[in-house]
Structure 1
Amino acid sequence: MKKILTLGLILFINMSFAQTQLFFEKADAFFKTYVSNGKVDYASIHKSPEKLNEILEIANKVSVSKDDANTYQAFWINAYNISVIKGIIDKYPTNSPLANPGFFDKTKHNIGGKKIILNDIENKLLRAQFDDARFHFVLVCGALGCPPLIDEAYLPNTLDAQLTRQTKLALNNPNFIKVKKNKVEVSEILKWYKGDFVKKGQSEIDFINKYRDQKIPAGHKLGYYSYNWTLNAK
């Protein structure tokens, strides 16, 4: 009996691993097909949603553990971004995710064996479990005000480099961080989640300068520009 149970456990682990790898492969192909320059081809996805639906079916069968942090984070980041696209497609055509009441806090998605809202993926499964402000530059809410969606999946073995790359991309973008004479205007993301950026005694500008090529001089006044909730469509 013990041998049968052990073989069953090994089989389950192998199947779970295969399902997770299949998710990453399908997600990577999906983003490469429908995302370019940070914009999503929602019209084409809406016309032929089979690939999107296939990925979501696979995603619902995936089980990941926080003990394997890179796989866990990569899965839930991709799952968030794909679920945002699914939410848009379900209401397409639409001009903004905010045009759909409950988009982030009421609409449930079947991911990882859970019925879960987007806010809980971001805040409970990622931010509450890991102290990493770079999440804010890879979780894309379907709007132009977000950092751009990349045309590839986040993968466990490249996750750290991808997180850093996307954070640098956003914080060096003059449309995202607007440096003027003695003032710097930043996305409201840094206001809404201020606590994530000012830990260990650092300021928001200290955090920004960690990733900027051209540092913001000391003494610059920090301000926030209005978030653009227009759909990030091609």
Structure 2
Amino acid sequence: MHPRPAMVPVRSRTPLLLVCGLMLITATGCGRGPATTLMAGDASRPSLAAVAPQPPLDPAPFNAVLQNVVDGRGLVDYAALQRDPAQLDRYIRALGALAPERFASWSEAEQIALLINAYNAFTLRAIIDNDPIRPSIKAIPGVWKFRRHQLMGRGLTLDAIEHEILRREYNEPRIHAALVCAAISCPPLRREAFTGPALDRQLEDQATLWLASPVGLKIDRAAGTVQISQIFQWFAEDWQRADPTAAAVPGHQKQSAVLRFVSRYLPAQESALILGGDYRFSYLPYNWDLNRQSP
């Protein structure tokens, strides 16, 4: 969820390219060269694209964590998690031991679900590694760009997972309703792990919950204003790429793809207001305070 400058254009993706990209990422992110070039001519490597489908990673340990420490508002009891991180660490160990070939055999939905879960699990671990727990994730030096987490046997940063894999390899802007960077203004942390079969339903539900909250959207009819999360500003290109022919919203042409996405999750009257364009538009201030439960 950490904002960054514009990224390279999306490539056409296959499981082989994605897994090769994972295997080449360093602490500073993915290499820019094609993964297939670096893999060419290596007869010792199996053809990942030809691997038979294998079972997804068991989300039970992560589900246990989310059920135990996340409340109905998506706030986290970090103190409780810090006292007993066993289930979280069990899941994180499984992420590190996951074979790239197994990941490559999954559907796109299963891959996206695993990567969202990994990002959220690693973020929780980064928070509780500090004693005392910091008041904001931004108070942890290098938390996005330098700290590495083991995923499929490779050390990846949170930025690499989000920007270099999820955003670059998949055309799914709803991930921004599911990736939670431990801040009050983030979307709510879901109390269950994401899974391939349920991913579409879960992402739709996350978007609905996020936009129904004051950190996602604020409409003031009396004042004639509409405000949405800065996440839509930071990653506007993801919605534009997903809906390149979005019809223009009068007066807000640059934000048309984002506003049309937002309108899908609103009651009819509010949706009509958003699409009508007769309002002053701005982005909500971002509150980076920790999304923790009150003592």
Q: TM-score range by the shorter chain?
A: 0.7 to 0.9
The answer on whether the counterparts of 2:217 and 2:226 sit within 8 Å (CA) in structure 1 is yes
Higher helix share: 1
Correspondent of 2:229 among 166, 187, 191: 187
Moved more, 199-208 or 92-101: 199-208
Deviation of the 1:216 alpha carbon: 5.1
1:51 counterpart letter in structure 2: Q
What is the rounded CA distance, in whole Å, between the counterparts of 1:43 and 1:67 in structure 2?
35
Instruction: Give the aligned partner of residue 271 of structure 2.
Output: 215
- What runs of 5+ residues in structure 2 fail to find an aligned partner? 1-50, 247-255
Deviation of the 1:80 alpha carbon: 0.4
Deviation of the 1:112 alpha carbon: 2.0
Deviation of the 1:201 alpha carbon: 3.6
| 1:1-234 aligned within 5 A | 17=55, 20-22=56-58, 24-37=59-72, 38-63=74-99, 64-65=103-104, 68-92=107-131, 93-181=133-221, 182-198=224-240, 199-202=243-246, 203=256, 204-213=258-267, 214-215=270-271, 217=273, 218-219=276-277, 220-234=279-293
Identity %: 30
What is the rounded CA distance, in whole Å, between the counterparts of 1:67 and 1:55 in structure 2?
18
1:100 counterpart letter in structure 2: I
Deviation of the 1:130 alpha carbon: 1.2
The answer on whether the counterparts of 2:182 and 2:291 sit within 8 Å (CA) in structure 1 is yes
What is the rounded CA distance, in whole Å, between the counterparts of 2:198 and 2:171 in structure 1?
18
What is the rounded CA distance, in whole Å, between the counterparts of 1:108 and 1:119 in structure 2?
10
**1:118-151 Cα shifts (integer Å, max 9, x gaps):** 0111112211111111000000000111000011
1:200 counterpart letter in structure 2: P
Specify whether residues 175 and 123 from structure 1 end up closer, same or farther in structure 2 by C-alpha distance, changes over 3 A only.
Answer: closer
The answer on whether the counterparts of 2:78 and 2:292 sit within 8 Å (CA) in structure 1 is yes
Instruction: Give the aligned partner of residue 3 of structure 1.
Output: none
Q: Could you tell me the TM-score, scaled by structure 2's length?
A: 0.70
Query: How many residue pairs were aligned?
Result: 219
Deviation of the 1:197 alpha carbon: 2.3
The answer on whether the counterparts of 2:218 and 2:227 sit within 8 Å (CA) in structure 1 is yes
